[in-house]
């Protein structure tokens, strides 16, 4: 019997890469997405595969797939500040109602459930690097709270279903990830820096650029996701690249890699923007045998090539 996986948010940046990986592992994949932030362009190369099916649907409603299902990956959510500031109610609904519906579906199917959570549950952290046991420093009523608290609630709901209903669950806390199929107007640092540099525009850095991030290439993240789902570990786990750098250094690196003549300019730091972000991946290393493999220079080169073709109106050879 073929293994069937349902991926909510499967037409998004991460969801589309996950669908691809699952198909390569021999799974039948049902991709569910309402296309608010996802795009059919991300998955159109999968439409000809016999074990792939796309369903346009809002998972804050009752979720139903008629066949037997072994795995449910819940990735549906706006995931960049520009999206969740524009779609605050939808972000809260998919993190709460959507997670509830997806968990209920997994319970009914006796399927293993995987929650895509985020490093944003740590807020503007007072512990550095961030370990899974840290409870976070989140402003629940700030503009970013709609995303941070939606994911914190989703984690709580997932653990409640695990403890009370006995649903097999896995929770990943995803740290900053980049790669092909990010949107040009995504609003996150790497798409913004790359698109501005390729257009020869000023590259915009918020604050003085000293705030740090740790960026992970998408193929490394997908490997961690797959390993975690197939493991026996039920508590939240950080997956990300612990190599930390400042936003100013990242901007300079991208300007150099694109051979752009863009200037770097500075704008006011958004409210509640985290000053540091770095995962402690001890658990991922010891439990999953996972750590990132793709060097930032190589990952950025692939991402820049993807955006270059997008901006020039050509399909990417890596899509």
Q: Give the catalytic positions in this structure.
A: 147
Task: Give the pair of three-digit tokens for residue 250.
Answer: 């990242």
CB atoms under 10 Å from CB of 156, counted, come to 12
CB 56 within 8 A of CB 30: no
Six-digit token string for 120: 């944003």
């Amino acid at each position: 019997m073929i293994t069937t996986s349902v991926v909510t948010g499967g037409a998004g940046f991460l969801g589309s890469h996950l669908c691809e990986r699952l198909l390569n592992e021999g799974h039948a994949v049902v991709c569910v997405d309402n296309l608010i932030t996802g795009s059919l362009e991300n998955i159109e190369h999968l439409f000809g595969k016999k074990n792939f099916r796309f369903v346009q649907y809002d998972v804050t409603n009752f979720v139903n797939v008629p066949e037997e299902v072994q795995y449910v990956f819940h990735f549906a959510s706006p995931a960049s500040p520009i999206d969740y500031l524009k779609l605050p109610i939808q972000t809260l609904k998919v993190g709460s109602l959507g997670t509830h519906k997806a968990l209920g579906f997994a319970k009914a199917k006796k399927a293993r459930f995987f929650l895509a959570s985020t490093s944003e549950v740590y807020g503007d952290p007072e512990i550095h690097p961030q370990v899974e046991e840290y409870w976070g420093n989140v402003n629940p009523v700030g503009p970013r709270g709609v995303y941070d608290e939606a994911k914190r609630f989703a984690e709580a709901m997932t653990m409640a279903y695990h403890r009370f209903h006995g649903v097999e669950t896995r929770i990943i806390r995803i740290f900053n990830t980049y790669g092909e199929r990010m949107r040009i107007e995504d609003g996150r640092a790497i798409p913004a820096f790359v698109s501005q540099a390729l257009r020869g525009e000023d590259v915009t850095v918020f604050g003085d650029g000293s705030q740090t991030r740790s960026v992970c290439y998408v193929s490394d993240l997908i490997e961690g996701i797959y390993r975690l789902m197939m493991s026996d570990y039920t508590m939240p786990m950080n997956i990300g690249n612990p190599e930390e750098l400042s936003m100013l250094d990242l901007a300079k690196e991208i300007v150099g890699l694109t051979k752009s003549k863009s200037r770097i300019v500075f704008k006011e730091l958004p409210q509640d923007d985290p000053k540091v972000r770095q995962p402690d991946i001890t658990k991922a290393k010891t439990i999953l045998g996972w750590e990132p493999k793709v060097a930032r220079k190589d990952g950025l080169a692939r991402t820049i090539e993807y955006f270059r073709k997008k901006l020039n109106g050509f399909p990417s050879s890596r899509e």
